[in-house]
Amino acid sequence: MAELEERVGKVENRLTRIETEIPHLKDSIDKNTQSNEKMTEALNNLGKTMENINHTTETQQKEITDQIETLKNKQEEMNQITNNMKEALLMLDDSGKILSINPAALKLFEMYENGILFSRCFIPFTPHILHFATKHATIGFF
């Protein structure tokens, strides 16, 4: 019987410890639940933000694609116009590098891969000459 009483005493001690820990465990569970709810809310907000970013990115991609298509069409239109001009058209950058040349200008200047061989004239394309040409082009002097 003493052995049984000893076992019952141990069980009662364990139950007493469990009962004293229950409020602490309940508080811990409540805190974890609150943390989980906050985490879920944060993840939901993040998901909405990601959806907005994705939508914005898709919209911007479509706009860029449309703009590229418009530019290609404008470039093709410009090529059609300049390629069918009777006048020679030569576009240069600030350093004199040829950016664009139409067939009439090719015929006039006899363009080769390594540069321009001017069969009818020779004009060194210096910034001074380019400035002079653009200044006087509007009044028909050049």
Q: 67-111: per-residue pLDDT in tens?
A: 999 999 999 999 999 999 988 888 887 777 778 888 888 877 665
Query: Residue 119 in 3-state DSSP?
Result: coil
* pLDDT higher than threshold 70 for residue 132: no
* pLDDT higher than threshold 70 for residue 112: no
C-alpha span between 22 and 49 (Å, rounded): 40
The arithmetic mean of pLDDT across residues 106-124, rounded, is 55
Of 93 and 16, the structure prediction assigns the larger pLDDT to: 16
The arithmetic mean of pLDDT across residues 5-11, rounded, is 84
Beta strands in the chain (DSSP E): 90-92, 98-101, 111-112, 115-116
- Is residue 119 within 8 Å of residue 100, measured between CB atoms? no
120-126, long-range: CB < 8 A, 24+ apart: 125/92, 125/96, 126/96
C-alpha span between 50 and 123 (Å, rounded): 59
In sequence order, the 6+-apart residues with CB closer than 8 A to the CB of 98 are: 90, 91, 92, 116
C-alpha span between 61 and 58 (Å, rounded): 5
Average pLDDT score over the chain: 81
Distances from the Cα of 89 to the Cαs of 78, 110, 116, in angstroms? 12, 13, 14
pLDDT class of 119 with cuts at 50, 70, 90: very low
